[in-house]
Amino acid sequence: MSAAPDMAGRIVCFGEILLRLAAPPGRMLPQAPALDAGTGGAEANVAVALALLGHRAAMVSVLPDNRLGRAALDSLRAHGVDTSGIRMHPGRMGLYFLEPGAVVRPADIIYDRAGSAYALADPDLYDWPALLDGAAWLHVSGISPAVGDGPAHAVLAAMRAARARGVRVAFDGDYRASLWAERGQDGIAVLLDAMRQADVLFAGPRDIALVLGRPELADPSRAAEVARTAFAAFPNLTLLAWTCRVQHGAGEHELSACLHTRTKTVTGGSYRLSGIVDRIGTGDAFAAGVLHGLQSGMAPADVAGFALAAAALKHAATGDFDLARPDHVGAARTGAFDALR
């Protein structure tokens, strides 16, 4: 039987909070007469999802001390995220521009993050012993190190501080080639160091192949070998998880997931997704679902099923944040489409 969610252990997420500017569906960015604005960012997405699933989720970041930064802060607070670890400093807001996909045209993202308040923040600004006090988990991603040297140092410092205090570390491998290219780097050494600190790793065959310099592991059919190789390379690792996506068009995908422990592999089933509204943030919904399952004491198969349902459900809602409640995820798992009451 699954345990009730552990409300005593905080889940601390660290990363950049962004302003999302999206073209309307069916419009390319140069055609858009207006852009829809919202708050986003991978780690913030996880924090919001966890808060709505009933956890004590906290966000650590730096925002510009202006109306944009304060609006972003308020949006996290509105969803129950602890924002006491967010600092307001002079500077600019990190942005990303989204061009939604349509038919056979894929979605496109343009980042404008260089020189943001977060990117330029001194890594010594973060008092990790205090920020991690009472934490059960630290969640970070491979996106933050790609933003700048300061965030890269801060992410690794946070992970090491967490390990030293017995706080479990979750790392999303999120490789952003365009961000690393802007800095004239490939980021492999940084990501490898980060993966070595992780208890839970969200990374698929292509990520593992890239970081370990084993291109043959990018083949999805070699999943078992990928898992064995990752566990051998990363001694702290207890769980490796990834989703698999087959795209039949911009609005029709098949989504499945697998979780690997050192002794077993489980899958979460699969979903055929038609009429996709927004796939941005679906990986973050999956990560939050895994952390929710682990923190709630679910068996591995139930963790996989819950996390995959959360990821599938996020495709039905626009914006970065996954606003699903546990009953929404439960309905998605059972295929119950009646109105929730």
Spell out the alpha helix ranges (H) of the chain.
42-52, 67-78, 117-120, 128-131, 143-147, 149-164, 177-182, 188-197, 205-212, 223-233, 282-295, 300-314, 326-334
Residue 177 has pLDDT above 70, yes or no: yes
DSSP string, 206-217: HHHHHHHT-GGG
For the chain, the average pLDDT equals 93
CATH of domain 10-327: 3.40.1190.20
Q: Give 106's DSSP letter.
A: P
Residue 272 has pLDDT above 80, yes or no: yes
Average pLDDT of 156-178?
A: 96
Residue 204 has pLDDT above 80, yes or no: yes
For the beta carbon of residue 37, count every other beta carbon within 10 angstroms: 12
Token pair recorded at residue 275: 């009429």
pLDDT at 2: 43
Going from the C-alpha of 211 to that of each of 122, 214, 233, 296, 336, the distances in angstroms are 27, 8, 10, 31, 41
pLDDT at 335: 75
Average pLDDT of 287-310?
A: 96
For the beta carbon of residue 79, count every other beta carbon within 10 angstroms: 17
Per-residue confidence band for 54, with pLDDT thresholds at 50, 70 and 90: very high
Q: Judge contact between 314 and 281, C-beta under 8 A.
A: yes
Token pair recorded at residue 240: 């490796």
Q: Judge contact between 289 and 308, C-beta under 8 A.
A: yes
Per-residue confidence band for 149, with pLDDT thresholds at 50, 70 and 90: very high
Average pLDDT of 53-59?
A: 97
Q: Judge contact between 274 and 251, C-beta under 8 A.
A: yes
Question: What residues are paired with 21 via a beta bridge?
Answer: 37, 97
Q: Which residues contact 145 (CB under 8 A, 6 or more apart)?
A: 151, 152, 155, 156, 187, 190, 191, 194
Average pLDDT of 260-276?
A: 93
Coil, helix or strand for 179?
helix
Q: Which residues contact 281 (CB under 8 A, 6 or more apart)?
A: 40, 42, 45, 314, 319, 320, 321, 322
Rg of the Cα atoms in the chain: 19
Residue 331 has pLDDT above 90, yes or no: no
pTM, to two decimals: 0.94
Average pLDDT of 144-158?
A: 96
The Cα–Cα gap between 219 and 225 comes to 10
Question: What residues are paired with 216 via a beta bridge?
Answer: none
DSSP string, 295-341: HTT--HHHHHHHHHHHHHHHTTS-SS-----HHHHHHHHHT--SPP-
